[in-house]
């Protein structure tokens, strides 16, 4: 293995290295993907002879480089004792390096290899249990030297994400990438929506001929919807609910969340409410992007074939007997 002891002289002072290792099947690949989501530069199965070049590559754009390197018994020239020794050399030279060991019970590892129908890398022609036992011997020096040992025997990926984020998330990193979306039920639910709020209970600007050609971005439409007595209390309750849920989603390791608001056509009420909620939450520290899926659509809030909102339309939209003029079946 190439000498690593002199890397600190060429490594940037803001470099932080996580060395992720452990038992095959314990979640190293998932851990690296999670760390990548947390802002780390992740490299898996890097030949040890290339460590020198990787650590000396330079700073990231913001001046702080976070590097996560995955190694296990399959890594070329793998030598657990030598790796432990080199880690000590790097630390002596001032490099911030943390050794993370992912462990798992033999029974659970056997089950995982069986369910995925993958062969253990050290037991290609033998039972997985043989390879697991052999690997424990090989990586034992790394487990003893590990700064952090995470037992994933009872973990789902979300549990591993929570464990890693709790230890290695960057200070000030956004817990969620938020999208606020407006849409029309006439064109179906958004496929990527996580939370959907139906705002068809609000007064419908479609029934005002002066507002019909406008959208929820126009002041007149916003004032019309906001004047509905149901708007303010409903808006506040949804806002309070989101303030409760957003931190919990972040704590669960969710990276992306789409909050969708739907009305019939997706041009008036949902557009206004989605933008208003995005602005309100941004003021509370939860900023996100806004997408109006159907705002530019040709449809209206009374498309044929749809059940008209329960908000009563003006008299001109009623039949001779005063009943709602619904589309023919």
Nearest CA to 13 out of 89, 53, 64 is that of: 64
pLDDT of 171: 59
Dihedral over Cα of 158, 161, 165, 166: its sign: positive
Six token digits for residue 27? 């979640």
* Residue spans of the chain under pLDDT 50: 1-13, 299, 302-329
Residue 232 burial (CB count, 10 A): 11
- Distance, in Å, from the CA atom of 53 to the CA atom of 199, rounded to the nearest integer, reads 56
pLDDT of 226: 96
- Distance, in Å, from the CA atom of 148 to the CA atom of 171, rounded to the nearest integer, reads 19
Q: Distance of CA 154 to CAs 26, 107, 157, 223, Å?
A: 10, 11, 10, 53
Is the domain covering 7-168 a CATH 3.40.50.300 domain?
yes
- Distance, in Å, from the CA atom of 73 to the CA atom of 106, rounded to the nearest integer, reads 16
pLDDT of 62: 55
Q: What are phi and psi of 130, to 5 degrees?
A: -65, -45
Q: Distance of CA 186 to CAs 152, 207, 217, 243, Å?
A: 45, 17, 20, 29
Q: What are phi and psi of 290, to 5 degrees?
A: -120, 130
Q: pTM for the complete prediction? A: 0.57
What are 158-185's pLDDT values in tens digits?
888 878 887 887 655 556 789 999 999 9
pLDDT of 329: 31
Contact 25, 106 (CB under 8 A): no
């Amino acid at each position: 293995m190439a000498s690593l002891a002199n890397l600190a002289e060429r490594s940037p002072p803001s470099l932080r290295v996580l060395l992720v290792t452990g038992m095959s099947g314990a979640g190293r690949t998932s851990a690296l993907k999670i760390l990548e989501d947390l802002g780390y530069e992740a490299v898996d199965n890097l030949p040890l002879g290339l460590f020198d070049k990787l650590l000396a590559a330079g700073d990231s754009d913001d001046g702080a480089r976070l590097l996560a390197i995955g190694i296990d018994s399959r890594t070329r020239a793998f030598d657990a004792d030598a790796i432990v020794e080199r880690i000590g050399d790097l630390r002596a030279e001032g490099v911030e390096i943390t050794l993370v060991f992912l462990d798992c019970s033999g029974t659970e590892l056997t089950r995982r290899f069986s369910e995925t129908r993958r062969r253990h890398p050290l037991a290609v022609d033998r039972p997985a249990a043989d390879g697991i036992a052999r690997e424990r011997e090989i990586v034992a020096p790394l487990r003893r030297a590990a700064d952090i040992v995470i037992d994933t025997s009872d973990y789902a990926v979300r549990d591993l994400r929570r464990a890693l984020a709790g230890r290695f998330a960057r200070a000030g990193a956004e817990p969620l990438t938020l999208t606020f979306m407006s849409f029309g039920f006439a064109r179906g639910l958004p496929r990527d929506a996580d939370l959907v709020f139906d705002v068809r209970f609000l007064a419908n600007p479609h029934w005002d001929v002066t507002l019909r050609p406008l959208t929820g971005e126009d002041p007149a439409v916003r004032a019309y919807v906001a004047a509905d007595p149901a708007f303010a209390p409903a808006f506040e309750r949804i806002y309070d609910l989101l303030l409760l849920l957003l931190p919990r989603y972040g704590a669960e390791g969710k990276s992306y969340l789409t909050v969708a608001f739907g009305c019939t056509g997706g041009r008036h009420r949902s557009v206004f409410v989605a933008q208003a909620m995005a602005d309100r939450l941004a003021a509370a520290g939860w900023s996100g992007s806004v997408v109006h899926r159907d705002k530019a659509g040709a449809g209206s809030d009374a498309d044929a074939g749809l059940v008209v909102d329960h908000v009563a339309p003006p008299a001109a939209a009623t039949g001779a007997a005063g009943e709602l003029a619904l589309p023919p079946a």
